[in-house]
Amino acid sequence: QVQLVESGGGLVQPGGSLRLSCAVSGLSLDLYAIGWFRQAPGKEREGVICISASDGTVGYIDSVKGRFTISRDNAKNTIYLQMNNLKPEDTAVYYCAADYDYYCSIYRPDDYDYWGQGTQVTVSS
């Protein structure tokens, strides 16, 4: 049984930071590419950032460049999303997802085999 459980979301002021965690069970994390996606009310799901299983290469959308970083701790079966300098437009439910592949893409959500239920991030003053 595979489970992905996000945590760490909450309310933060613009310019603030949050670190999201995705605890994974039921799979060997080192064999999976990991992506973070988000969905705001009334908007389509958007790929944000991902990390490959093979060499740790990262893909991300331009809007989060320099602000968001993704990392993985295979020993802890946990993926992290560090979000700095948060903006109101970052407000969304954030989902982590695992793809049984060495390589990741933020543009192919259908490639991902397992998904968490999401954690709410709200950026507001």
Sequence-ordered strand ranges (E) for 13-118: 18-25, 33-39, 46-51, 58-60, 68-73, 78-83, 92-99, 114-115
Closest CA to 27 of 117, 113, 118, 119: 113
- Token reading at 46: 């958007």
- Provide the pLDDT for residue 54: 77
Closest CA to 111 of 68, 57, 61, 53: 53
Given pLDDT bands bounded at 50, 70 and 90, which one contains residue 56? confident
- Provide the pLDDT for residue 74: 85
How many Cβ atoms from other residues are within 10 Å of residue 122's Cβ? Answer: 15
Mean pLDDT, to the nearest integer, of 5-15?
A: 98
- Provide the pLDDT for residue 11: 98
